[in-house]
A and B are shown apart, each in its own frame.
Chain A
Amino acid sequence: MSKQAEIYEFIKTLKPNVPDFEAEQNLLEDEILDSVAMMELVLWSEEKYGFIVDTDDLTPENFATLTAITEYVEKMASSA
Protein backbone atom coordinates (compact mmCIF):
# COMPACT_ATOMS: atom_id res chain seq x y z
CA MET A 1 0.00 0.00 0.00
CA SER A 2 1.31 3.49 -0.80
CA LYS A 3 2.05 5.89 2.05
CA GLN A 4 -0.77 8.11 0.81
CA ALA A 5 -3.21 5.19 1.05
CA GLU A 6 -1.89 4.27 4.50
CA ILE A 7 -2.32 7.83 5.80
CA TYR A 8 -5.79 8.07 4.27
CA GLU A 9 -6.75 4.80 5.91
CA PHE A 10 -5.38 5.93 9.27
CA ILE A 11 -7.45 9.13 9.19
CA LYS A 12 -10.56 7.19 8.15
CA THR A 13 -10.01 4.70 10.98
CA LEU A 14 -9.54 7.56 13.43
CA LYS A 15 -12.67 9.35 12.25
CA PRO A 16 -14.88 6.89 10.39
CA ASN A 17 -17.80 9.31 10.41
CA VAL A 18 -16.12 11.94 8.22
CA PRO A 19 -17.08 11.83 4.53
CA ASP A 20 -14.57 10.48 2.01
CA PHE A 21 -12.09 13.20 1.09
CA GLU A 22 -9.86 14.11 -1.85
CA ALA A 23 -6.06 14.32 -1.75
CA GLU A 24 -6.12 18.08 -2.28
CA GLN A 25 -8.98 18.79 0.10
CA ASN A 26 -8.18 21.08 3.04
CA LEU A 27 -8.56 18.85 6.09
CA LEU A 28 -8.32 21.78 8.50
CA GLU A 29 -10.96 24.04 6.93
CA ASP A 30 -13.27 21.10 6.31
CA GLU A 31 -12.85 20.00 9.92
CA ILE A 32 -11.70 16.49 9.08
CA LEU A 33 -8.89 17.00 11.62
CA ASP A 34 -9.04 18.76 14.99
CA SER A 35 -6.25 19.36 17.52
CA VAL A 36 -6.54 15.95 19.19
CA ALA A 37 -6.79 14.11 15.84
CA MET A 38 -3.78 16.05 14.56
CA MET A 39 -1.73 14.94 17.54
CA GLU A 40 -2.84 11.33 16.94
CA LEU A 41 -1.75 11.62 13.30
CA VAL A 42 1.65 13.07 14.25
CA LEU A 43 2.33 10.37 16.87
CA TRP A 44 1.19 7.61 14.50
CA SER A 45 3.37 8.91 11.62
CA GLU A 46 6.42 9.08 13.86
CA GLU A 47 5.98 5.54 15.04
CA LYS A 48 5.02 4.09 11.68
CA TYR A 49 7.66 5.80 9.56
CA GLY A 50 10.46 6.18 12.12
CA PHE A 51 11.15 9.89 12.27
CA ILE A 52 10.35 12.82 14.55
CA VAL A 53 8.16 15.67 13.37
CA ASP A 54 10.20 18.78 14.11
CA THR A 55 8.38 21.59 15.95
CA ASP A 56 8.95 23.90 12.98
CA ASP A 57 7.53 21.34 10.55
CA LEU A 58 4.19 20.98 12.33
CA THR A 59 2.51 23.63 10.18
CA PRO A 60 -0.52 23.96 7.91
CA GLU A 61 1.85 23.83 4.89
CA ASN A 62 2.82 20.25 5.77
CA PHE A 63 -0.45 19.02 7.27
CA ALA A 64 -3.40 20.70 5.59
CA THR A 65 -3.99 18.16 2.79
CA LEU A 66 -3.40 14.47 2.25
CA THR A 67 -0.97 15.33 -0.56
CA ALA A 68 1.02 17.67 1.70
CA ILE A 69 1.14 15.15 4.56
CA THR A 70 2.26 12.39 2.20
CA GLU A 71 4.99 14.53 0.64
CA TYR A 72 6.25 15.56 4.05
CA VAL A 73 6.21 12.01 5.41
CA GLU A 74 7.98 10.65 2.32
CA LYS A 75 10.67 13.32 2.57
CA MET A 76 11.25 12.67 6.27
CA ALA A 77 11.06 8.88 6.06
CA SER A 78 13.64 8.75 3.27
CA SER A 79 16.11 10.86 5.26
CA ALA A 80 15.46 9.13 8.61
Chain B
Amino acid sequence: MLYQILKSVAGQHPGNLALADDKRSADYQHLWNASVLIAERLHAEGVRQGDRVCLLSENCIDSVALYWAILQCEGIAVYLNEQTPAEGIEQIVDDAEPSVIVATEKLAKSKLSDSVKSRSSIKHLDLRTLCSIEPDQISGAAVNVSKALSDARNADPDAIATIVYTSGSTGKPKGVCLTHTNLISVAKMAGDAYNTVPTDSYLMVVPLHYIHGLMILVTMHLRGAGIHFMNSFMFPKLVTKKLIDTGVSGFSGVPFHITALIERGGFLDAALPNLRWVGVTGGTCATERLAQIRKRLPDIEIHISYGQTEASPRITALHPDKIDTKADSVGNVAEGLHVEFLDEAGNPVPQGEAGELVVAGPTIMHGYWNDPENTARAVDEQRRLHTGDIAYIDEEGDVFIRGRIQAMIKSAGERIFPEELEAVLSLSPDVVDVAVVGIPDPLYGQRVEAHVILSDENPDTLESVRKHCLDHVAFARSPKHYHRWSVFPLKANGKTDKQQLISAADNAPGRVS
Protein backbone atom coordinates (compact mmCIF):
# COMPACT_ATOMS: atom_id res chain seq x y z
CA MET B 1 0.00 0.00 0.00
CA LEU B 2 1.15 3.55 -0.68
CA TYR B 3 1.06 4.50 3.00
CA GLN B 4 3.29 1.55 3.94
CA ILE B 5 5.98 2.79 1.55
CA LEU B 6 5.65 6.34 2.90
CA LYS B 7 6.16 4.97 6.40
CA SER B 8 9.38 3.27 5.39
CA VAL B 9 10.63 6.39 3.54
CA ALA B 10 9.82 8.61 6.52
CA GLY B 11 11.65 6.15 8.77
CA GLN B 12 14.76 6.24 6.60
CA HIS B 13 14.81 9.95 5.75
CA PRO B 14 12.90 11.73 8.53
CA GLY B 15 14.77 15.03 8.09
CA ASN B 16 14.56 15.24 4.30
CA LEU B 17 12.45 18.00 2.83
CA ALA B 18 9.12 16.57 1.68
CA LEU B 19 7.17 19.71 0.77
CA ALA B 20 7.61 23.47 0.63
CA ASP B 21 5.25 26.24 -0.36
CA ASP B 22 5.66 30.02 -0.12
CA LYS B 23 5.09 30.08 3.61
CA ARG B 24 6.21 26.80 5.12
CA SER B 25 8.15 23.61 4.64
CA ALA B 26 7.71 20.08 5.96
CA ASP B 27 10.17 17.21 6.29
CA TYR B 28 9.21 13.56 6.07
CA GLN B 29 8.77 13.16 9.82
CA HIS B 30 6.34 16.08 9.68
CA LEU B 31 4.51 14.71 6.66
CA TRP B 32 4.14 11.26 8.19
CA ASN B 33 2.96 12.52 11.58
CA ALA B 34 0.54 14.98 9.99
CA SER B 35 -0.90 12.30 7.70
CA VAL B 36 -1.53 9.93 10.64
CA LEU B 37 -3.04 12.59 12.90
CA ILE B 38 -5.31 13.89 10.14
CA ALA B 39 -6.26 10.30 9.25
CA GLU B 40 -7.40 9.75 12.85
CA ARG B 41 -9.62 12.82 12.56
CA LEU B 42 -11.06 11.60 9.25
CA HIS B 43 -11.65 8.18 10.79
CA ALA B 44 -13.49 9.87 13.67
CA GLU B 45 -15.58 11.72 11.07
CA GLY B 46 -16.60 8.31 9.72
CA VAL B 47 -14.30 7.96 6.68
CA ARG B 48 -13.86 4.26 5.93
CA GLN B 49 -12.35 2.03 3.26
CA GLY B 50 -13.62 3.04 -0.19
CA ASP B 51 -15.27 6.30 0.91
CA ARG B 52 -14.60 9.20 -1.42
CA VAL B 53 -13.10 12.36 0.02
CA CYS B 54 -12.96 15.39 -2.29
CA LEU B 55 -10.20 17.98 -1.86
CA LEU B 56 -10.71 21.51 -3.12
CA SER B 57 -7.55 23.55 -2.69
CA GLU B 58 -4.58 24.97 -4.52
CA ASN B 59 -1.39 22.93 -4.16
CA CYS B 60 -0.15 23.35 -0.59
CA ILE B 61 1.37 21.35 2.26
CA ASP B 62 -2.00 20.78 3.95
CA SER B 63 -3.64 19.41 0.82
CA VAL B 64 -0.85 16.84 0.39
CA ALA B 65 -0.85 15.87 4.09
CA LEU B 66 -4.60 15.37 3.70
CA TYR B 67 -4.10 13.29 0.55
CA TRP B 68 -1.83 10.92 2.47
CA ALA B 69 -4.30 10.92 5.37
CA ILE B 70 -7.12 9.79 3.07
CA LEU B 71 -4.90 6.96 1.86
CA GLN B 72 -4.07 6.04 5.49
CA CYS B 73 -7.85 5.56 5.96
CA GLU B 74 -7.95 3.55 2.71
CA GLY B 75 -10.39 6.14 1.44
CA ILE B 76 -10.44 7.33 -2.17
CA ALA B 77 -8.95 10.79 -2.70
CA VAL B 78 -10.51 13.02 -5.36
CA TYR B 79 -8.71 16.29 -6.10
CA LEU B 80 -11.14 18.81 -7.63
CA ASN B 81 -10.00 21.37 -10.20
CA GLU B 82 -10.33 24.76 -8.51
CA GLN B 83 -10.50 26.46 -11.92
CA THR B 84 -13.73 24.64 -12.74
CA PRO B 85 -16.89 26.72 -12.27
CA ALA B 86 -19.28 25.66 -9.47
CA GLU B 87 -21.62 23.90 -11.95
CA GLY B 88 -18.76 21.69 -13.17
CA ILE B 89 -17.71 20.88 -9.59
CA GLU B 90 -21.30 19.90 -8.78
CA GLN B 91 -21.33 17.50 -11.73
CA ILE B 92 -18.22 15.76 -10.37
CA VAL B 93 -19.58 15.69 -6.82
CA ASP B 94 -22.79 14.11 -8.15
CA ASP B 95 -20.72 11.41 -9.84
CA ALA B 96 -18.19 10.73 -7.07
CA GLU B 97 -20.76 10.86 -4.23
CA PRO B 98 -18.18 11.75 -1.57
CA SER B 99 -18.90 11.36 2.12
CA VAL B 100 -16.63 14.31 2.88
CA ILE B 101 -15.54 17.44 1.00
CA VAL B 102 -12.55 19.30 2.39
CA ALA B 103 -12.04 22.80 0.99
CA THR B 104 -10.27 26.04 1.77
CA GLU B 105 -12.56 28.72 3.11
CA LYS B 106 -12.24 30.80 -0.05
CA LEU B 107 -12.94 27.97 -2.50
CA ALA B 108 -15.80 26.62 -0.39
CA LYS B 109 -17.46 30.01 -0.86
CA SER B 110 -16.78 30.47 -4.54
CA LYS B 111 -16.89 26.92 -5.93
CA LEU B 112 -19.39 24.90 -3.89
CA SER B 113 -22.98 25.56 -4.88
CA ASP B 114 -25.73 25.82 -2.24
CA SER B 115 -27.08 22.53 -3.49
CA VAL B 116 -23.73 20.77 -2.84
CA LYS B 117 -23.43 22.45 0.56
CA SER B 118 -26.88 21.41 1.66
CA ARG B 119 -26.63 17.69 0.92
CA SER B 120 -27.12 15.67 4.06
CA SER B 121 -24.92 12.82 2.78
CA ILE B 122 -21.82 15.06 2.61
CA LYS B 123 -19.81 16.40 5.52
CA HIS B 124 -18.04 19.68 4.79
CA LEU B 125 -14.72 20.26 6.51
CA ASP B 126 -12.39 23.25 6.40
CA LEU B 127 -8.89 22.36 5.16
CA ARG B 128 -6.99 24.61 7.58
CA THR B 129 -8.97 23.47 10.63
CA LEU B 130 -8.75 19.78 9.74
CA CYS B 131 -5.00 19.97 9.10
CA SER B 132 -4.07 22.24 11.98
CA ILE B 133 -1.80 20.32 14.35
CA GLU B 134 0.24 21.42 17.37
CA PRO B 135 3.93 21.90 16.46
CA ASP B 136 5.16 19.48 19.16
CA GLN B 137 2.95 16.70 17.76
CA ILE B 138 4.35 17.30 14.30
CA SER B 139 8.00 17.38 15.22
CA GLY B 140 7.89 14.71 17.96
CA ALA B 141 8.63 11.03 17.51
CA ALA B 142 6.96 9.14 14.69
CA VAL B 143 3.27 8.70 15.47
CA ASN B 144 1.71 5.27 15.20
CA VAL B 145 -1.66 4.55 13.69
CA SER B 146 -4.32 3.81 16.34
CA LYS B 147 -5.73 0.31 16.73
CA ALA B 148 -9.16 1.49 15.56
CA LEU B 149 -7.76 2.85 12.30
CA SER B 150 -5.43 -0.09 11.79
CA ASP B 151 -8.28 -2.59 12.38
CA ALA B 152 -10.40 -0.80 9.77
CA ARG B 153 -7.86 -1.47 7.02
CA ASN B 154 -7.96 -4.26 4.43
CA ALA B 155 -4.56 -3.56 2.83
CA ASP B 156 -5.76 -4.59 -0.63
CA PRO B 157 -3.27 -3.16 -3.16
CA ASP B 158 -5.87 -3.36 -5.91
CA ALA B 159 -8.22 -1.04 -4.00
CA ILE B 160 -8.84 2.35 -5.59
CA ALA B 161 -6.61 5.07 -4.11
CA THR B 162 -7.64 8.01 -6.27
CA ILE B 163 -10.18 9.12 -8.82
CA VAL B 164 -8.82 11.59 -11.37
CA TYR B 165 -11.55 13.38 -13.31
CA THR B 166 -10.81 13.97 -16.94
CA SER B 167 -12.79 15.35 -19.86
CA GLY B 168 -14.94 13.04 -21.90
CA SER B 169 -16.26 13.44 -25.41
CA THR B 170 -19.84 13.40 -24.15
CA GLY B 171 -19.33 16.49 -22.02
CA LYS B 172 -19.71 14.41 -18.87
CA PRO B 173 -16.44 14.16 -16.92
CA LYS B 174 -15.05 10.66 -16.51
CA GLY B 175 -13.64 9.51 -13.18
CA VAL B 176 -10.48 7.51 -13.82
CA CYS B 177 -10.00 5.10 -10.90
CA LEU B 178 -6.38 4.40 -10.05
CA THR B 179 -5.37 1.78 -7.52
CA HIS B 180 -2.48 1.64 -5.08
CA THR B 181 -0.76 -0.78 -7.47
CA ASN B 182 -1.27 1.62 -10.41
CA LEU B 183 0.36 4.51 -8.57
CA ILE B 184 3.18 2.48 -7.01
CA SER B 185 3.99 1.06 -10.47
CA VAL B 186 4.02 4.40 -12.25
CA ALA B 187 6.11 5.97 -9.47
CA LYS B 188 8.74 3.29 -10.02
CA MET B 189 8.78 3.88 -13.79
CA ALA B 190 9.04 7.66 -13.45
CA GLY B 191 11.51 7.53 -10.56
CA ASP B 192 13.80 5.23 -12.56
CA ALA B 193 13.58 7.47 -15.64
CA TYR B 194 14.41 10.64 -13.67
CA ASN B 195 17.01 8.77 -11.52
CA THR B 196 15.24 10.18 -8.48
CA VAL B 197 17.22 9.89 -5.22
CA PRO B 198 16.39 11.16 -1.72
CA THR B 199 18.52 14.30 -2.15
CA ASP B 200 16.53 15.42 -5.20
CA SER B 201 13.96 18.16 -5.32
CA TYR B 202 11.38 19.24 -7.86
CA LEU B 203 9.45 22.42 -8.66
CA MET B 204 5.76 21.67 -9.19
CA VAL B 205 3.68 24.13 -11.23
CA VAL B 206 1.12 21.54 -12.33
CA PRO B 207 -1.98 21.16 -10.14
CA LEU B 208 -2.49 17.86 -8.32
CA HIS B 209 -5.89 17.27 -9.93
CA TYR B 210 -3.96 16.49 -13.13
CA ILE B 211 -2.48 13.02 -13.27
CA HIS B 212 0.98 14.34 -14.11
CA GLY B 213 1.09 16.34 -10.87
CA LEU B 214 -0.16 13.38 -8.90
CA MET B 215 2.32 11.00 -10.53
CA ILE B 216 5.22 13.32 -9.65
CA LEU B 217 3.94 13.70 -6.08
CA VAL B 218 3.90 9.95 -5.54
CA THR B 219 7.21 9.47 -7.40
CA MET B 220 9.04 12.02 -5.23
CA HIS B 221 7.46 10.91 -1.96
CA LEU B 222 8.10 7.23 -2.46
CA ARG B 223 11.81 8.08 -2.88
CA GLY B 224 12.22 10.62 -0.10
CA ALA B 225 12.74 13.58 -2.47
CA GLY B 226 11.34 17.10 -1.98
CA ILE B 227 8.64 19.09 -3.79
CA HIS B 228 8.43 22.89 -3.97
CA PHE B 229 5.11 24.38 -5.03
CA MET B 230 4.63 27.34 -7.33
CA ASN B 231 0.94 27.85 -8.00
CA SER B 232 0.99 30.79 -10.37
CA PHE B 233 2.40 30.80 -13.87
CA MET B 234 1.22 34.33 -14.62
CA PHE B 235 4.70 35.79 -14.40
CA PRO B 236 7.17 33.36 -16.01
CA LYS B 237 10.21 35.30 -14.78
CA LEU B 238 9.12 34.58 -11.22
CA VAL B 239 9.04 30.87 -12.05
CA THR B 240 12.61 31.10 -13.34
CA LYS B 241 13.55 32.93 -10.15
CA LYS B 242 11.94 30.18 -8.11
CA LEU B 243 13.95 27.57 -10.04
CA ILE B 244 17.11 29.51 -9.15
CA ASP B 245 16.18 30.18 -5.51
CA THR B 246 15.09 26.63 -4.70
CA GLY B 247 17.92 25.00 -6.66
CA VAL B 248 15.67 22.09 -7.62
CA SER B 249 17.01 19.18 -9.66
CA GLY B 250 13.82 18.60 -11.64
CA PHE B 251 11.02 20.53 -13.30
CA SER B 252 8.27 19.57 -15.70
CA GLY B 253 5.34 21.16 -17.43
CA VAL B 254 3.12 21.19 -20.46
CA PRO B 255 4.45 22.79 -23.67
CA PHE B 256 2.71 26.07 -22.71
CA HIS B 257 4.88 26.27 -19.58
CA ILE B 258 8.10 25.53 -21.47
CA THR B 259 7.31 28.09 -24.18
CA ALA B 260 6.32 30.76 -21.66
CA LEU B 261 9.51 30.15 -19.64
CA ILE B 262 11.69 30.49 -22.73
CA GLU B 263 9.89 33.41 -24.38
CA ARG B 264 8.76 35.36 -21.34
CA GLY B 265 10.74 34.04 -18.41
CA GLY B 266 14.42 34.42 -19.31
CA PHE B 267 14.86 30.69 -18.72
CA LEU B 268 17.67 30.25 -21.26
CA ASP B 269 19.78 32.96 -19.61
CA ALA B 270 19.34 31.68 -16.07
CA ALA B 271 22.14 30.07 -14.06
CA LEU B 272 20.67 26.73 -12.99
CA PRO B 273 23.58 24.53 -11.95
CA ASN B 274 21.40 22.12 -9.96
CA LEU B 275 18.71 21.59 -12.58
CA ARG B 276 19.32 18.10 -13.97
CA TRP B 277 16.14 17.43 -15.91
CA VAL B 278 13.15 19.11 -17.53
CA GLY B 279 10.09 17.06 -18.40
CA VAL B 280 7.61 17.88 -21.15
CA THR B 281 4.21 16.27 -20.93
CA GLY B 282 0.65 16.69 -22.15
CA GLY B 283 1.33 17.62 -25.76
CA THR B 284 4.00 18.23 -28.32
CA CYS B 285 6.60 20.90 -27.70
CA ALA B 286 7.95 22.58 -30.83
CA THR B 287 11.30 20.99 -31.69
CA GLU B 288 12.83 24.49 -32.05
CA ARG B 289 12.10 25.12 -28.37
CA LEU B 290 13.79 21.88 -27.37
CA ALA B 291 16.75 22.72 -29.60
CA GLN B 292 17.02 26.13 -27.90
CA ILE B 293 17.24 24.46 -24.50
CA ARG B 294 19.77 21.92 -25.76
CA LYS B 295 21.98 24.66 -27.21
CA ARG B 296 21.95 27.00 -24.24
CA LEU B 297 21.63 24.51 -21.39
CA PRO B 298 23.29 21.37 -22.79
CA ASP B 299 23.69 19.66 -19.40
CA ILE B 300 19.97 19.49 -18.78
CA GLU B 301 18.25 16.23 -19.69
CA ILE B 302 14.99 16.71 -21.55
CA HIS B 303 12.38 14.03 -20.85
CA ILE B 304 9.53 13.75 -23.32
CA SER B 305 6.80 11.39 -22.27
CA TYR B 306 3.46 10.26 -23.61
CA GLY B 307 0.55 8.83 -21.74
CA GLN B 308 -3.05 9.08 -20.69
CA THR B 309 -4.73 9.54 -17.35
CA GLU B 310 -6.18 6.04 -17.87
CA ALA B 311 -2.60 4.66 -17.78
CA SER B 312 -1.55 6.57 -14.64
CA PRO B 313 -0.41 8.22 -17.16
CA ARG B 314 2.98 7.03 -18.39
CA ILE B 315 3.01 4.84 -21.53
CA THR B 316 6.23 5.80 -23.31
CA ALA B 317 9.22 8.07 -22.70
CA LEU B 318 11.99 9.24 -24.99
CA HIS B 319 15.47 8.61 -23.62
CA PRO B 320 17.15 12.03 -23.13
CA ASP B 321 20.10 10.85 -25.29
CA LYS B 322 17.78 10.69 -28.30
CA ILE B 323 16.41 14.21 -27.99
CA ASP B 324 18.67 15.64 -30.72
CA THR B 325 17.88 12.99 -33.27
CA LYS B 326 14.37 11.77 -32.48
CA ALA B 327 12.50 14.66 -30.85
CA ASP B 328 9.41 13.81 -32.93
CA SER B 329 9.13 10.42 -31.22
CA VAL B 330 7.57 9.82 -27.81
CA GLY B 331 10.15 7.11 -27.16
CA ASN B 332 10.27 3.61 -25.75
CA VAL B 333 7.44 1.79 -24.08
CA ALA B 334 7.81 2.05 -20.30
CA GLU B 335 9.19 -1.05 -18.59
CA GLY B 336 6.53 -3.53 -17.55
CA LEU B 337 4.03 -2.41 -20.21
CA HIS B 338 3.07 -4.27 -23.35
CA VAL B 339 1.82 -2.38 -26.41
CA GLU B 340 0.17 -3.47 -29.62
CA PHE B 341 -1.00 -1.57 -32.67
CA LEU B 342 -4.38 -2.64 -34.02
CA ASP B 343 -6.24 -2.09 -37.26
CA GLU B 344 -9.93 -1.16 -37.41
CA ALA B 345 -10.93 -4.81 -37.06
CA GLY B 346 -8.85 -5.14 -33.89
CA ASN B 347 -6.05 -7.20 -35.46
CA PRO B 348 -2.37 -6.35 -34.93
CA VAL B 349 -0.79 -4.48 -37.87
CA PRO B 350 2.66 -5.50 -39.21
CA GLN B 351 5.67 -3.99 -37.40
CA GLY B 352 6.26 -0.37 -38.44
CA GLU B 353 2.71 0.24 -39.67
CA ALA B 354 0.35 2.62 -37.92
CA GLY B 355 -2.59 1.36 -35.87
CA GLU B 356 -4.45 2.18 -32.67
CA LEU B 357 -2.07 1.95 -29.72
CA VAL B 358 -3.37 -0.41 -27.04
CA VAL B 359 -1.43 -1.00 -23.85
CA ALA B 360 -1.54 -3.46 -20.97
CA GLY B 361 0.31 -3.55 -17.67
CA PRO B 362 0.20 -2.68 -13.97
CA THR B 363 -0.56 1.02 -14.55
CA ILE B 364 -3.79 0.54 -16.48
CA MET B 365 -6.75 2.01 -14.59
CA HIS B 366 -9.23 -0.04 -12.63
CA GLY B 367 -11.97 1.58 -14.74
CA TYR B 368 -14.16 4.70 -14.88
CA TRP B 369 -16.07 5.41 -11.69
CA ASN B 370 -19.71 4.37 -11.93
CA ASP B 371 -19.46 3.85 -15.67
CA PRO B 372 -19.17 0.20 -16.76
CA GLU B 373 -20.21 1.03 -20.32
CA ASN B 374 -17.36 3.45 -21.03
CA THR B 375 -14.97 1.27 -19.02
CA ALA B 376 -15.73 -1.66 -21.32
CA ARG B 377 -15.07 0.57 -24.33
CA ALA B 378 -11.72 1.73 -22.97
CA VAL B 379 -10.37 -1.48 -21.40
CA ASP B 380 -11.04 -4.81 -23.14
CA GLU B 381 -11.30 -8.35 -21.69
CA GLN B 382 -7.53 -8.74 -21.95
CA ARG B 383 -7.12 -5.62 -19.73
CA ARG B 384 -5.72 -3.65 -22.67
CA LEU B 385 -6.37 0.10 -22.67
CA HIS B 386 -7.49 1.38 -26.07
CA THR B 387 -5.88 4.81 -26.25
CA GLY B 388 -7.63 6.12 -29.36
CA ASP B 389 -4.21 7.28 -30.59
CA ILE B 390 -2.90 6.16 -33.97
CA ALA B 391 0.80 5.35 -33.73
CA TYR B 392 3.60 3.12 -34.97
CA ILE B 393 6.83 1.75 -33.55
CA ASP B 394 10.21 1.69 -35.32
CA GLU B 395 13.01 -0.93 -35.23
CA GLU B 396 14.58 0.75 -32.18
CA GLY B 397 11.32 0.43 -30.26
CA ASP B 398 10.53 4.15 -30.39
CA VAL B 399 6.89 5.10 -30.78
CA PHE B 400 5.60 7.85 -33.06
CA ILE B 401 2.09 9.27 -32.60
CA ARG B 402 0.37 10.04 -35.86
CA GLY B 403 -3.13 11.13 -34.93
CA ARG B 404 -6.30 10.28 -33.13
CA ILE B 405 -9.32 8.19 -33.99
CA GLN B 406 -11.58 10.83 -32.50
CA ALA B 407 -10.90 14.57 -32.81
CA MET B 408 -9.29 16.05 -29.71
CA ILE B 409 -7.81 19.48 -29.10
CA LYS B 410 -4.76 19.88 -26.91
CA SER B 411 -4.49 23.46 -25.74
CA ALA B 412 -2.07 24.64 -23.03
CA GLY B 413 -1.94 21.07 -21.76
CA GLU B 414 -5.73 20.68 -21.59
CA ARG B 415 -7.32 17.72 -23.34
CA ILE B 416 -10.49 19.04 -24.93
CA PHE B 417 -13.00 17.13 -27.02
CA PRO B 418 -14.83 19.42 -29.48
CA GLU B 419 -18.04 17.53 -28.69
CA GLU B 420 -17.91 18.43 -25.01
CA LEU B 421 -17.76 22.18 -25.74
CA GLU B 422 -20.34 21.84 -28.50
CA ALA B 423 -22.64 20.13 -25.99
CA VAL B 424 -22.18 22.98 -23.50
CA LEU B 425 -22.69 25.71 -26.11
CA SER B 426 -25.77 23.98 -27.52
CA LEU B 427 -27.40 24.35 -24.11
CA SER B 428 -27.51 28.12 -24.66
CA PRO B 429 -30.91 29.17 -26.08
CA ASP B 430 -29.07 31.67 -28.32
CA VAL B 431 -27.07 29.01 -30.16
CA VAL B 432 -28.68 27.48 -33.25
CA ASP B 433 -25.63 25.49 -34.31
CA VAL B 434 -22.02 25.24 -33.23
CA ALA B 435 -18.74 23.68 -34.32
CA VAL B 436 -15.62 23.78 -32.14
CA VAL B 437 -12.20 23.48 -33.76
CA GLY B 438 -8.50 23.57 -32.82
CA ILE B 439 -6.19 25.95 -34.69
CA PRO B 440 -2.37 25.55 -34.59
CA ASP B 441 -0.91 28.11 -32.19
CA PRO B 442 2.73 28.75 -31.25
CA LEU B 443 1.94 29.32 -27.57
CA TYR B 444 -0.86 26.90 -26.77
CA GLY B 445 -0.09 24.14 -29.25
CA GLN B 446 -3.67 24.49 -30.40
CA ARG B 447 -6.09 27.31 -29.86
CA VAL B 448 -9.77 26.58 -29.25
CA GLU B 449 -12.17 28.48 -31.51
CA ALA B 450 -15.93 28.23 -31.85
CA HIS B 451 -17.97 28.76 -34.99
CA VAL B 452 -21.56 29.59 -34.14
CA ILE B 453 -24.91 30.30 -35.74
CA LEU B 454 -26.86 32.48 -33.32
CA SER B 455 -30.57 33.12 -32.98
CA ASP B 456 -30.19 36.84 -33.82
CA GLU B 457 -27.66 39.43 -34.98
CA ASN B 458 -27.57 41.44 -31.77
CA PRO B 459 -23.93 41.79 -30.57
CA ASP B 460 -25.06 41.23 -26.97
CA THR B 461 -26.17 37.73 -27.96
CA LEU B 462 -22.58 36.65 -28.59
CA GLU B 463 -21.59 38.12 -25.23
CA SER B 464 -24.24 36.07 -23.49
CA VAL B 465 -23.06 32.94 -25.31
CA ARG B 466 -19.45 33.56 -24.21
CA LYS B 467 -20.67 34.07 -20.67
CA HIS B 468 -22.79 30.93 -20.82
CA CYS B 469 -19.74 28.89 -21.83
CA LEU B 470 -17.54 30.33 -19.08
CA ASP B 471 -20.22 29.61 -16.49
CA HIS B 472 -19.78 25.93 -17.30
CA VAL B 473 -16.19 25.55 -18.48
CA ALA B 474 -12.84 26.78 -17.07
CA PHE B 475 -11.33 29.69 -18.99
CA ALA B 476 -8.30 27.65 -20.11
CA ARG B 477 -10.65 25.13 -21.76
CA SER B 478 -13.07 27.56 -23.37
CA PRO B 479 -13.00 28.99 -26.92
CA LYS B 480 -10.73 32.02 -27.20
CA HIS B 481 -12.42 33.29 -30.34
CA TYR B 482 -15.93 33.08 -31.78
CA HIS B 483 -16.81 33.28 -35.47
CA ARG B 484 -20.42 34.00 -36.44
CA TRP B 485 -22.14 32.38 -39.37
CA SER B 486 -25.66 32.50 -40.81
CA VAL B 487 -25.23 29.06 -42.36
CA PHE B 488 -22.39 26.51 -42.12
CA PRO B 489 -20.62 25.04 -45.16
CA LEU B 490 -21.55 21.37 -45.41
CA LYS B 491 -19.77 18.25 -46.58
CA ALA B 492 -21.33 15.90 -49.13
CA ASN B 493 -22.75 13.79 -46.31
CA GLY B 494 -24.61 16.80 -44.92
CA LYS B 495 -22.34 17.26 -41.89
CA THR B 496 -20.67 20.54 -41.04
CA ASP B 497 -17.39 20.92 -42.92
CA LYS B 498 -14.96 21.91 -40.17
CA GLN B 499 -12.01 22.22 -42.55
CA GLN B 500 -13.94 24.84 -44.55
CA LEU B 501 -14.91 26.66 -41.36
CA ILE B 502 -11.23 26.88 -40.40
CA SER B 503 -9.95 28.02 -43.79
CA ALA B 504 -12.88 30.30 -44.74
CA ALA B 505 -12.12 33.92 -45.62
CA ASP B 506 -13.93 36.69 -43.73
CA ASN B 507 -16.27 37.26 -46.68
CA ALA B 508 -17.01 33.57 -47.31
CA PRO B 509 -20.65 32.77 -48.05
CA GLY B 510 -22.59 32.34 -44.82
CA ARG B 511 -19.93 34.01 -42.68
CA VAL B 512 -21.10 36.96 -40.56
CA SER B 513 -17.98 37.84 -38.56
Binding site for B on A (CB under 8 A): 13-17, 28, 33-40, 42-43, 53, 55-56, 58-60, 63
Contacts and interface: CB of A to CB of B under 8 A. Distances in A.
A36 B235 contact: no
B251 to A, nearest CB: 16
Contacts of B412: 36
Contact of B234 (A17, A35, A43): A35
Contacts of B83: 34
A34 B476 contact: yes
B261 to A, nearest CB: 10
Of the four ranges (under 10, 10 to 19, 20 to 34, 35 or more), the interface on chain B belongs to: 20 to 34
Contacts of A59: 235, 237-238
Interface stretch (B154-162, B368-376, B467-475): B467-475
B237 A17 contact: no
B475 A36 contact: yes
A38 B412 CA distance: 13
The listed residue with most B CB atoms (<10 A of its CB), out of A33, A36, A53, A58, is A36
A55 B476 CA distance: 22
Contacts of A43: 443
A78 to B, nearest CB: 23
Contacts of A63: 234-235
Given A34-B83, A34-B475, A55 B233 contact: no
Nearest to B463: A16
Interface string B224-267: 00000000111111100000000000000000100010001110
B232 A35 contact: yes
Nearest to B267: A55
5 cross-chain pairs, A with B, having the tightest CB-CB distances, nearest first: A35-B233, A17-B470, A16-B467, A38-B234, A55-B266
Contacts of A56: 237, 266
A55 B236 CA distance: 8
A58 B475 contact: no
21 contacts: A13-B463, A13-B466, A14-B475, A15-B470, A17-B85, A17-B470, A17-B471, A28-B234, A35-B233, A36-B475, A36-B476, A38-B234, A39-B260, A39-B264, A55-B237, A55-B264, A56-B266, A58-B235, A58-B237, A59-B235, A60-B235
